[in-house]
Amino acid sequence: MDEIRINPVNEIVKLGIKQSRMLKESMIRAYYNKIVEPYFFENSMIIKLDNDILIIGVKNSIWLQEFTLKKNIILYKINKIFENNYIKNIRFEIKENINPEKIYEENFEKFEPEKINLKKEEIEKIEKKIEEYDEVIKEKIKNMMILSKKKEIYLKNHNYKKCKNCGIYFYSERDICINCFNQNKHKERKKLYNIIKNIPFIKYEDLTNTHITKEQFLDIRAKIKDEVRKKMMDGANNNNIKVYKKYARIYFMIETQNSNEKEIENLVNNYLKRLIY
């Protein structure tokens, strides 16, 4: 992986980076396709920056091993961007449906700020935001904000969207970036997980206001069923009938999607007899 070369940032920017998790995360996202090699980039994505730990999602266990071997190099290159060791560690996690959307295209290097003119009211808006700053740094901050606004205009003109959740610019048909999309998906799966645990007999057709597919529903249900069955069998093997029956009821409600107490109780007792005899 080639070393990244960028212009040194001034002290004002350094202070802003140090104090802002979002700014650090945005910079890492912006440079990520230059930090790692193309085939690494295509099989991974930045999930989030958690304090000083960067979490990167990878496609599978093979890529997990590959990234682990490159961990120190990636960490070095990231901190090289900041000219400081802001990122202390990287954690890799296996994630489904890796889709490294373009946050900034490579042709972003064609960005020519001098060719983009801001409207008078946009300049005034920036000046109003910084009017309480010290005169020594006010002009520097103003120039930074103007440059940032011009980048925003450039990206919009190249069909990039601003994520409704986190505010980062990305290239996709969706209204939110891949990271926010996956976070929402994870929350929805977690919510469904709790629903199935509380209502074991629930059917996919009974769900409302969800983007979970039937296949995902069945997958989550199968995982819960396996967990419950293990606890059920632990109870039976330890001669703890109370524990066995508690989890056996849940297991057979998931298995049959039946809420009839009498029928479920018969299944629980009949299965116990089979285990005993």
CATH code, domain with 84: 3.30.300.180
Q: Where are the beta strands (DSSP E) in 51-180?
A: 53-58, 89-94, 161-162, 169-170
The answer to whether residue 241 sits within a structural domain is yes
The answer to whether residue 152 sits within a structural domain is yes
Q: What is the pTM of this model?
A: 0.48
Domain extent, residue 147, equals 106-157
In tens, the pLDDT along 213-222 reads: 888 889 889 9
Same structural domain, 90 and 112: no
Same structural domain, 129 and 68: no
The answer to whether residue 174 sits within a structural domain is no
Residue 71 CA: distances (Å) to CA of 67, 131, 179 = 6, 43, 21
Q: Would you state the pLDDT for residue 52?
A: 86
Q: What residues pair up with 170 in beta bridges, in sequence order?
A: 161
In tens, the pLDDT along 107-160 reads: 455 778 888 888 999 889 888 877 776 676 677 778 878 887 888 888 888 788
Tokens coding 195: 């629903």
Tell me the Ramachandran region of residue 258: left when phi exceeds 0, alpha when psi lies from -120 to 50, beta otherwise.
beta
Same structural domain, 25 and 85: yes
Same structural domain, 216 and 270: yes
Round to whole Å and give the CA distance between 243 and 232: 7
Q: Would you state the pLDDT for residue 103?
A: 47
Nearest to 35 by CA among 61, 65, 2: 2
Same structural domain, 67 and 136: no
Asked if residue 36 lies in contact with residue 3, where contact means CB atoms within 8 angstroms, the answer is no
Round to whole Å and give the CA distance between 168 and 164: 8
Round to whole Å and give the CA distance between 230 and 220: 16
Same structural domain, 144 and 119: yes
Distant-in-sequence contacts of 16-24, Cβ < 8 A, 24+ apart? 17/82, 17/84, 17/86, 18/84, 18/86, 21/49, 21/51, 22/166, 22/167, 24/49, 24/82, 24/86, 24/87
Same structural domain, 64 and 16: yes
Round to whole Å and give the CA distance between 29 and 34: 10
Q: Would you state the pLDDT for residue 104?
A: 46
Same structural domain, 23 and 68: yes
The answer to whether residue 100 sits within a structural domain is no
pLDDT at 69 over 70: yes
User: Residues 85-94: what's their mean pLDDT?
Assistant: 89
Asked if residue 57 lies in contact with residue 93, where contact means CB atoms within 8 angstroms, the answer is yes
